[in-house]
């Protein structure tokens, strides 16, 4: 089975963005639906404009958390977001690394991506 066109488009959009220096505004996990939603904001396209993005991972599983310090991080600033998709296994992998030695890891079988220019009102609604 190959990756769906929606998923392929979303992977391409995520690959074209830079999440270094972005901030996590929320992480939501719907365990019954196996859906993980990650909301970020920052200068995702470079330049000075701030964008709010929502990445929804379908069929999320194998969620792992790494935190070397053992305490809740004081910063939710992102160092990197890496996504990969293995056609043979029909499964994607995601790694979100923070700037304060924390990381989230998971697998997924589908992805949706949306973003819009962030204004103070929209950030307040998302937080």
CA distance 8 to 54: 16
List, as one string, the DSSP characters of 27-78: EEEETTTTEEEEEEEE-TTSSS--EEEEEEEET-EEEEEEETTSS--S--BE
Average pLDDT score over residue span 89-108: 94
| pLDDT at site 5 | 80
43-83: pLDDT as tens digits: 998 888 899 999 999 999 999 999 888 877 788 999 999 99
């Amino acid at each position: 089975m190959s990756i769906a066109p929606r998923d392929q488009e979303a992977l391409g959009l995520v690959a074209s963005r830079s999440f270094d220096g972005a901030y996590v505004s929320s992480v939501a996990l719907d365990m019954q639906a196996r859906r993980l939603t990650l909301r970020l904001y920052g200068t995702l396209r470079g330049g000075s404009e701030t964008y709010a993005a929502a990445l929804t991972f379908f069929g999320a599983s194998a969620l792992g958390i790494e935190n070397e310090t053992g305490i809740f991080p004081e910063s939710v600033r992102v160092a990197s977001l890496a996504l990969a998709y293995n056609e043979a296994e029909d499964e994607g992998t995601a790694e979100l690394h923070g700037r304060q030695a924390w990381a989230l890891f998971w697998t997924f079988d589908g992805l949706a991506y949306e973003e819009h220019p962030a204004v103070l009102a929209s950030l307040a609604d998302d937080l």
